[in-house]
Chains A and B, each alone.
Chain A
Amino acid sequence: KNEVEQSPQNLTAQEGEFITINCSYSVGISALHWLQQHPGGGIVSLFMLSSGKKKHGRLIATINIQEKHSSLHITASHPRDSAVYICAVGGNQFYFGTGTSLTVIP
């Protein structure tokens, strides 16, 4: 069993839809990261969470430490949001989910 599980693996949405990507983990952590990987491979850090909720533009990330679960929400999705979203947990060392491939159709 993987230490980090993401769902769904693949997601296709129409432009403007509200999107939710889920992450569950089984290890003790000091922080959870949401990452975005574009088709070229480059990875951008979106959020680091240790509790509660963070918002950046149309992106919202929440974490429930007791339930070992986090969600990434995208409001008013846009084709440029198409990417792979990766959940990573840990401290000095990270465990990574295999990612959720999101395609937003115009």
Chain B
Amino acid sequence: SQTIHQWPATLVQPVGSPLSLECTVEGTSNPNLYWYRQAAGRGLQLLFYSVGIGQISSEVPQNLSASRPQDRQFILSSKKLLLSDSGFYLCAWDPIRLAGMAPSDEQFFGPGTRLTVL
């Protein structure tokens, strides 16, 4: 079975400090990987997605960056956190879509990391 892990579960960081959130997926290979953020009282916002190692697409300009050093590892980073970076960060995956095939049935989400920037 496929599982997705995120850590840490919660994080409190001062403004200006660095950030590293990690996401790993088990039981599958070559997944699409996603980072989402859910700010308080707002919907989910796609931050980054990756279709393969070293391939990152950014949806929203910001002070965050993402990297995919291994097939099933996706990392969200920042050199200097802002207050506005506070939120709930979710990693998700879905099986790679092959040309001509229908989308997968589900996009699987990790347990999330709740980040508070003070």
Contact = CB atoms under 8 A, between A and B. Distances in A.
Interface of A: 2, 4, 30-31, 33, 35, 41-45, 48, 50, 86, 88, 91-94, 96-99
Closest 6 A-B residue pairs measured CB to CB? A45-B106, A96-B44, A43-B109, A98-B43, A96-B43, A41-B112
Interface of B: 32, 38, 41-46, 49, 59, 88, 90, 97, 102-109, 111-112, 114
B109 A93 contact: no
Interface of B is mostly: loop
Contact of B49 (A2, A88, A92, A97): A92
Given A86-B44, A98-B43, A44 B103 contact: no
A15 to B, nearest CB: 27
A98 B107 contact: no
A97 B44 CA distance: 8
A42 B112 contact: yes
B32 A92 contact: yes
**Which of B90, B97, B104, B109 counts the most chain A CB atoms within 10 A?**
B109
Given A42-B112, A86-B43, A31 B103 contact: yes
